[in-house]
């Protein structure tokens, strides 16, 4: 199935998890894929494994984003698919949240995502697809996740504005909101397998379908939204959480 043949796709935060799975999926469908990330070694290693292009760029840094757009324009001309995926999580009650934690989350998840779209608009092809990685916490806030949830709620809000602004050029803008997804983040925090399994069991209890999401499932949805199948979808937030937000 090469239904994205010769399309140029840019994925921010592409060296692991959902970004990595999406790069793999789009590449398999024939797209030319560029992944970005702030850690040069990690992003180059991932690109080598995937057979895609790596460009080092930190989504929280506006001048990095500008350089990224300039380089993509120079090397590829224009972009058909933009997946704004880079994001960070952080937990803390409102009382405990430091200014640093607040700024870190907002700078990547909201400001960085906003300006990534902003700087890429001039090089998006008419009819292009933009997808933001949001989260089901945007519609179901929990204690300790105020800043993270707010960053994703705000992201969905400007996704809808962008859908209206870019509609005259037939550029579609959507977001995908996964629930708990099996990615390497938990292992990276240095938790052992038993602890990770314990956390997953607790989480799975809250999911009506009684399973965790998979990065591959999210990748397929991004691919769907960016293909001819999703040609009439814009301004939509697709919740993929096994029914969790229904509770």
Residues serving a catalytic function are: 148
Are 172 and 118 a contacting pair, CB within 8 Å? Answer: no
What sign has the CA pseudo-torsion 150, 156, 157, 158? positive
Are 14 and 43 a contacting pair, CB within 8 Å? Answer: yes
Which string of DSSP letters, residue by residue, matches 95-129? TT--HHHHHHHHIIIIIIHHHHHHHHGGGEEEEEE
- Rounded (10°) angle between helices 113-120 and 146-166: 20
Are 246 and 208 a contacting pair, CB within 8 Å? Answer: yes
Nearest CA-CA partner of 59 in 71, 48, 69, 46: 69
């Amino acid at each position: 199935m090469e239904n994205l043949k010769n399309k140029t796709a840019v994925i921010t935060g592409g060296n692991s998890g959902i970004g990595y799975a999406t790069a793999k999926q789009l590449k398999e469908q024939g797209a030319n894929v560029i992944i970005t990330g702030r850690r040069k070694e990690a992003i180059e290693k991932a690109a080598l494994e995937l057979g895609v292009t790596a460009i080092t760029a930190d989504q929280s840094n506006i001048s990095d984003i500008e350089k990224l757009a300039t380089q993509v324009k120079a090397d590829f001309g224009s972009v058909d698919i933009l997946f704004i995926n880079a994001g960070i999580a952080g937990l803390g009650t409102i009382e405990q949240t430091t200014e640093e934690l607040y700024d870190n989350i907002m700078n990547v998840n909201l400001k960085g995502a906003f300006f990534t779209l902003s700087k890429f608009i001039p090089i998006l092809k008419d009819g292009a697809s933009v997808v933001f990685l949001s989260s089901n916490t945007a519609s179901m806030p929990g204690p300790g996740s105020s800043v993270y949830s707010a960053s994703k709620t705000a992201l969905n809000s400007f996704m809808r504005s962008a859908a209206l602004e870019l509609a005259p050029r037939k550029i579609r803008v959507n977001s995908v909101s996964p629930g708990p997804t099996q990615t390497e983040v938990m292992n990276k925090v240095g938790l052992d397998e038993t602890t990770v399994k314990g956390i997953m069991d607790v989480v799975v209890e809250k999911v009506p379908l009684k399973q965790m999401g998979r990065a591959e499932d999210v990748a397929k949805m991004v691919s769907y939204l960016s293909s001819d199948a999703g040609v009439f979808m814009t301004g939509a937030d697709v919740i993929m959480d096994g029914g969790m937000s229904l509770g």
